[in-house]
Amino acid sequence: MMTESEQREIPRLDSHDRRILNELQRDARLTNQDLATKVGLSPSACWRRVKALEESGVILRYAAILDPKKVGYGECVFAHISLDRHARDLSSQFAESMRRQPEVMECYYTTGDADFLLRVAIPSVAAYDKFLQNVIFSAPSISQVRSNFALRQIKFETAMPIESD
């Protein structure tokens, strides 16, 4: 079943929309006046476009991006989770469980060797062990877990590569 956001028609983005999106991805704290100046629109036209991008679901939300180390979550683990059975209810149950875990930053249903790929932010190896014991290993139908600890971050971007004219 498609979610509401998937059912929405993909909006057509013109050059002003793409410039707005690029500027907001660089700095979402821009005032409407500053944003309008940067993209070459009047403040009222810019505001209407931003509101339309929000209402259409192109802009999902605004967020502050934190340094994980400075807030005590310096370890990044990629966990590849395989289920022993591929039943819709088990997959949905596992996915819902991951949505509720604050340390799971991203969760994807994937093809290939594993059924799910998680990006987990944790303070230590011991905390990851606790997460495995209390969350992952207690989930039904888990057949295999492969974990990869990130040694060093090479690139981290949050901005989508929106091409502008």
pLDDT value at residue 156: 95
At residue 45, the 3 state secondary structure works out as helix
Contacts of 29 (CB under 8 A, 6+ apart): none
pLDDT value at residue 11: 80
Position 1 pLDDT exceeds 50: no
Q: What is the mean pLDDT of the chain?
A: 93
Average pLDDT estimate for 19-33: 97
At residue 95, the 3 state secondary structure works out as helix
Pick the CATH number of 13-65 from 3.30.300.30, 2.40.160.60, 3.40.50.1220, 1.10.10.10: 1.10.10.10
Start and end residues for every CATH 1.10.10.10 domain found in the chain: 13-65
Q: Which CATH class is domain 69-149?
A: alpha beta
- 3-state SS, 8-41, equals CCCCCCCHHHHHHHHHHHHCCCCCHHHHHHHHCC
- pLDDT over 70 percentage in the chain: 94
Q: How many residues does the chain have?
A: 165
Q: How many CB atoms lie under 10 A from the CB of residue 21? A: 21
Start and end residues for every CATH 3.30.70.920 domain found in the chain: 69-149
Residue 2 banded pLDDT, cuts 50, 70, 90: very low
pTM of the model: 0.85
State whether the Cα torsion 96-97-98-100 is positive or negative.
positive
Q: How many CB atoms lie under 10 A from the CB of residue 116? A: 21
Q: How far is it, in rounded angstroms, from Cα 40 to Cα 107?
A: 38
Least confident of 18-22, 117-121, 138-142: 138-142
Strand order in the sheet with 75-83: 104-109, 116-122, 75-83, 142-149
Position 25 pLDDT exceeds 50: yes
CB 19 within 8 A of CB 38: yes
